Amino acid sequence: MISALLFDLDGTLIDTAPDFALVLNGMRRRRQLSDIPFEDIHATVSEGARALVELGFKLNEGDEGFEALRQELLDDYLQNLSQQSRLYTGMEDVLSWAESRDIPWGIVTNKPARYAEPLLRDLKLAERCASLVCPDHVKQRKPHPEPILLACAQMNANAATAVYVGDHRRDIEAGKNAGSTTVACTYGYIHSSDPAPSWGADYTIETASELVPILETL
CA-CA distances (angstroms) from residue 182 to 74, 80, 110, 178, 179? Answer: 30, 31, 17, 10, 9
Question: Which DSSP string corresponds to 149-194?
Answer: HHHHHHTT--GGGEEEEESSHHHHHHHHHHT-EEEEETTSS--TTS
Among residues 8, 15, 19, 167, the one annotated as catalytic is 8
Q: Is the peptide bond before 104 cis (omega within 30 degrees of 0)?
A: no
* Cα distance between residue 169 and residue 194, in whole Å: 8
Three-class SS state of 138: coil
Among residues 10, 15, 19, 167, the one annotated as catalytic is 10
Can 8 be counted among the known catalytic residues? yes
Name the nearest CA neighbour of 186 among 178, 174, 172: 172
* Cα distance between residue 127 and residue 176, in whole Å: 28
- Burial class (CB within 10 angstroms; exposed 0-12, middle 13-18, buried 19+) of 90: middle
Three-class SS state of 13: coil
| Cβ–Cβ < 8 Å for 17, 83 | no
Name the nearest CA neighbour of 149 among 174, 171, 184: 174
Query: Active-site residues: which are they?
Result: 8, 10
